[in-house]
Structure 1
Amino acid sequence: MKQRLDLFIMIDACGWEIIKDRPHFLQTLAPHRRKLESVFGYSSTCVPSILSGRWPDEHHNWCYFIHDPENSPFRSLRWLRWLPKALTSRRIVRRHLTKMVKSALGFKGYFDLYNIPFHLIHLFDFTEKKSPLQPRGMNRGPNIFDLLVEKGTPYFVTDPGLSEPINRDRLIADIETERIDFAFQYWAGLDGLLHQVGNQSPQIDSKLAEYEAWITQTMEAARKHYREVNLHVFSDHGMANCDHHLDLKSQIDALGLRIGADYNAVYDSTMARFWFFSIEARDKITAALKKVPEGRIMPEEELRRLRAHFENGRFGELIFLVKEGVLIVPSHMGERPIRAMHGYHPHDPQSYATLFSSSPHIPADITHIPHIHRLMEKSLDKTESTTTGLSPGALAA
């Protein structure tokens, strides 16, 4: 029997508003729960922030697509513009194309072509070419897996290319062979479900019950093979129902400006990001956005406070954010509406994340999702101390 195992399990989109009225969820296994503030951005931002303990303006894993024609890896895809839009706008076609393009370009992280128009795709670069779930996987700086490698700690990490049940079984197998001292399990199924059914569906309880059963199964195996097992279950953000749809693209198209010559834009699901190549384009688009009641232009000072301001305008020279519950559609993320979305302001009610723990001794300063990294780091210090027979204080000295 091994001495210690630290289990970190991330349930994507299991927000505070979703679980606050479900007190029985993980009540036995991880009864100590806490509301956490998320970061400004999507999962492309949240997950790297958790894994690195740093903020978007530090790790530079923010939004996926950016204006960068000089470094675009997609120039060879322009011929796809000749295919009928009725074909290329179908999600199943895009999925197959995404797999082929990801393989051809050697991208290791999450990748999706989404709804980027093929006649414009040569204007864009994609920012997650590496996987944040691997060592040296951040755009800037280290992550927890770099630290695990440095310390020589054997660990498990989810393989995003495999299903949730397979990753569950792989972790349990590693526990039963006592191969690991640390685990990072990442389940994204709830996120996908909430996008489809919204945050009030009875299907949520079924999914949470399934996760609780899996965690129970994992813990039962762990307690048979480790003297001490520490469990932390957490999320990256919540999910808001989308009851209002905004066709922002049509309003900007009506200004008569030329994409690629006057400006470029990425229409995400909850924000629009613009780059300007003329004063006229900047003035016209800024004036138009100020008249859109469903959202607002994010001031530089506020972006700085949220740690999502980038001096070179890499992710957009102007960021327009919609109100919680508004969905930009059509967008570069999809042609059709979905029931719920995240990526709103971190202070909006449905944006808050959660932390469940088996330990009653979670420090009071664990208040934001990047702070989860502190718990992971601390667990490695404890593991090292039990292995060497020294106290954490002796190691620090």
Structure 2
Amino acid sequence: MKDRLSLFIMIDACGWEIVKDLPFLEKVAPHRRKLESVFGYSCACVPSILSGRWPDEHRNWCYFVHDPEHSPFRPLGWLRFLPTALTGRRIVRRYLTKFVKKSLGFRGYFDLYNIPFQFIHLFDFTEKKSPLKPGGMNVGPNIFDLLEQRQVPYYVTDPSLPEEKHLELLLADIESQRIDFAFQYWAGLDGLLHMVGNNSPEIPKKLDHYERWITQVMEVAKKHYRHVDLHVFSDHGMANCDEHLDLRSKIDTLGLKFGEDYAVAYDSTMARFWFLKPGAREKIEALLATVPEGRVMPDDELKHYRTHFDDHAFGELVWLAKEGVLIVPSHMGERPIRAMHGYHPTDPQSYATLFSNTADVPADLTHIPHIHSLMEQAVEHHAAARAPKKNVA
């Protein structure tokens, strides 16, 4: 029997408002805490958890950025001649995504989403590496770099596999006592919430499903390790989308030319603008001021939430929708979905969660990047325990 196992399990989109009144994990991880997320989507939240740094430090914030000089998508120009009735279908985009990801050698999460093919050559994609791998951050190390450096054996989720396989592989590593540290990432709740919303009776059922899995993991772990430290957490919450906004049509009324006067990435809850010719900014700002469903994020506020970039790589202006407003159609999707995240970090449904089987979590662990400190502490403990003992004369 080994001495200690450190288990870190991330349940994507398991927001505080969703679980606060449920008995979720009260037996195996009774110590629960509300955490503030980072401003952005999972592509910003997960790297922040894995590195302990903020988006303005690790530069994993939003996926698509205007950068025609470095765009890897120039060979896709021929796709603009295909009918939108074909390329707009999700199943076609899915197959194209797989082909493009393989041909470009991307290792992280990648999706073409709904970027128009006539403009895709103007964009770069920021997650070419996987944050779930050593060396996977855009800037700086992550927890897997530290695990490799300190030679601590570990398990990490392979996102290409189904969740049931994740559980099977983790249990096998625990039973063999191969690992001292595990990072399990389950994304199924996020996808379900997008489809049915956070008030659906399917959500408690999904949480019960995860609770049974986590209980099983703990039961097996306690047979093979004397001490098991468990931390279950999320990256953000999820808000029901009861209002839809066609922001693109409003911007189009200005008569400005995309790619010549301005560029924009229409995310599901944000619109990020770049201005290419004089006068474009003033016209767009004046129009955005008339849209009551959201607001422009001031630079001071972006700096406060660590998403201001001096080089404006992710946009010169960021417009953010109010919680519950979905930008549709957007570059993320042509059709509405039931719920979304990526709103202001202090909106009620944005808060994340932390569940632990120990009360010794520091009181100043208040934001999701702070979870990294728990992982780092665990790695250093295991590294010290594995170090050869010095003989004392």
Same fold per TM (> 0.5)?
A: yes
Matched position secondary structure for 2:221? helix
Residues 308-344 of structure 1: per-residue CA shift (max 9 Å, x gap): 0000000000000000000000000000000000000
Residues 89-133 of structure 1: per-residue CA shift (max 9 Å, x gap): 111110110000000000000000000000110000000000000
Instruction: Say if 1:3 and 1:386, in contact at 8 Å, map to a contact too.
Output: no
Q: Distance in 1 between matches of 2:156 and 2:384?
A: 22
Give 1:384 shift.
2.8
Q: Distance in 1 between matches of 2:3 and 2:238?
A: 38
Q: Distance in 1 between matches of 2:168 and 2:182?
A: 13
Give the alignment of 1:306-385 within 5 angstroms. Answer: 306-385=305-384
Q: Distance in 2 between matches of 1:373 and 1:278?
A: 42
Q: What is the match of residue 120 of structure 1?
A: 119
Matched position secondary structure for 1:279? coil
Q: What is the match of residue 212 of structure 1?
A: 211
Give the unaligned 5+ runs of structure 1: none
- Letter of the aligned partner of 2:362 in structure 1? P
Q: Distance in 2 between matches of 1:159 and 1:381?
A: 24
Q: Distance in 2 between matches of 1:61 and 1:388?
A: 34
1:267 aligns with 2:266: yes
Q: What is the match of residue 132 of structure 1?
A: 131
Give 1:389 shift.
8.4
Q: Distance in 1 between matches of 2:243 and 2:101?
A: 33
Q: Distance in 1 between matches of 2:384 and 2:221?
A: 20
Matched position secondary structure for 2:136? coil
Q: What is the match of residue 49 of structure 1?
A: 48
Give 1:241 shift.
0.2
How many pairs align?
Answer: 390
Runs of 4+ residues over 6 Å off in structure 1 = none
1:175 aligns with 2:183: no
Instruction: Say if 1:252 and 1:285, in contact at 8 Å, map to a contact too.
Output: yes
Give the alignment of 1:226-305 within 5 angstroms. Answer: 226-305=225-304
Q: What is the match of residue 9 of structure 1?
A: 9
Q: What is the match of residue 61 of structure 1?
A: 60
- Letter of the aligned partner of 2:86 in structure 1? L
Give 1:279 shift.
2.0
Q: Distance in 1 between matches of 2:97 and 2:387?
A: 47
Give 1:388 shift.
4.3
Matched position secondary structure for 2:56? helix
- Letter of the aligned partner of 2:101 in structure 1? K
Q: What is the match of residue 143 of structure 1?
A: 142
Matched position secondary structure for 1:125? strand
Give 1:152 shift.
0.1
Q: Distance in 1 between matches of 2:374 and 2:254?
A: 50
Matched position secondary structure for 1:356? strand
- Letter of the aligned partner of 1:46 in structure 2? C
Q: What is the match of residue 102 of structure 1?
A: 101
Q: Percent identity?
A: 71
Give 1:82 shift.
1.0
Instruction: Say if 2:62 and 2:314, in contact at 8 Å, map to a contact too.
Output: yes
